[in-house]
Amino acid sequence: MFTIVFGLVVTAFIYAALGLQFKGGDLIYKHRPKQYLAFLAFALIWGINSFISVPANSVGIVFNQFSGVRDDVMQEGFNFKTPFDKVYIISTEVRTKQVAGVSGQTKDAQWISITMDIKYRVSKANAFEVFKQFKTLDNVDSTLLSPLVQRAIESVTTRYNIIDILGEQRNAVYVEIENAVKEKLSESGIEFFSLVLTDTDAGAAIEGAIEKQAVAKKDTETATEIQRRAEIEAQTKVLQSEAAAKVKLIEAQAESDANRLLTKSITPEILQQMEMEARIKWGWVTIQGAGSLIVDANK
Distance from the Cα of residue 42 to its chain's centroid:
57
Q: What is the pLDDT confidence band of residue 295, given thresholds at 50, 70 and 90? A: very low
pLDDT, tens digit, 9 for 90 and up, residues 36-58: 666 666 666 666 667 788 888 89
Instruction: Look at residue 204 in the predicted model and tell me its pLDDT.
Output: 66
Which residue would you say has higher pLDDT here, 64 or 280? 64
Q: What CA–CA distance (Å, rounded) separates 120 from 198? A: 17
Judge whether 156 and 104 are in contact, CB under 8 Å.
yes
Strand partners, 78: 53
Task: Let me know if 131 is exposed, middle or buried by CB neighbors in 10 A (0-12, 13-18, 19+).
Answer: buried
Q: What is the mean pLDDT of the chain?
A: 76
> Hey, is 113 helix, strand or coil?
strand
Sketch out the chain's domains with CATH numbers: 1-49 (no CATH), 95-202 (3.30.479.30)
Per-residue pLDDT tens over the stretch 171-213: 888 889 889 888 888 888 899 988 888 888 876 656 566 666 6
- The letter for the amino acid at 261 is L
